[in-house]
Amino acid sequence: GNGGESVAERFRREAMTVGGLGHPNIVDIYDVGRLPDGRPYMVMPRLTGITLGYDVDAGRIFELAEIVELFEGPAKALDLMHERGLVHRDLKPDNLVVETLDNGEQLVKIVDFGLAITTGGKDRITREGFINGTPEYMSPEAGQGKVGDGRSDVYSLAVIVFELLSGRLPFESDRPFDILVQKAYQDPPTLASVGLRSSNALERVIARGLARGPDERYS
């Protein structure tokens, strides 16, 4: 077929790979295809809950213990994805849905794998030199058009945690390009520098997660 069909087929395969992992913190994907008129569709369970983006927009500040509880599952889900060579590439509060279970517990599901890629191989959908993602949350290497690995997701997760704790992003600007430039050339701020009282241990974790170079981050 033509190139468009091959991209669609790769997207279908990768979406089904992610959705078929069967992890409780990753949204299931039952089917991906095209309608007769050519529009793509994806079949997933109906989620009931709100995104963390809703809380961020509302200006909510989270306690550290609450963040640890919320993110333990998604962090393990990302470990599983990265072990399989899968990278989300667009982790942000809007792509984390908080469901309240019948027993009152909260479960965070990772959604929207539209930019997910399989690392390795020549048939990557995401190409070198093409910037994909959300500037506020993407890693410095992704902002430079590089196809990153799981450590790009680690960076995005650290940005989210920084924002939930402090109520602001590590790097802010009205112009998305400026944010990418800041990430490339400036060291990340500490939580203390944005007015948050925190422990040395927490500062070390955040600094490592937000490190400019992938090798300096958690693997």
In DSSP notation, the chain reads: --HHHHHHHHHHHHHHHHHTS--TTB----EEEE-TTS-EEEE-PPP-SEEHHHHHHTT----HHHHHHHHHHHHHHHHHHHHTTEE-----GGGEEEEEPTTS-EEEEE---TT-EESSSS--SSPTT---S-TTTS-HHHHTT----HHHHHHHHHHHHHHHHHSS-SS--SSHHHHHHHHHHSPPPPTGGGT----HHHHHHHHHHT-SSGGGS--
Report the distance separating Cα 200 and Cα 130, nearest Å: 37
Tell me which residues are annotated as active site.
90
Tokens of 74: 């998604």
CB 70 within 8 A of CB 44: no
Report the distance separating Cα 144 and Cα 1, nearest Å: 32
Looking at residue 108, its amino acid is V
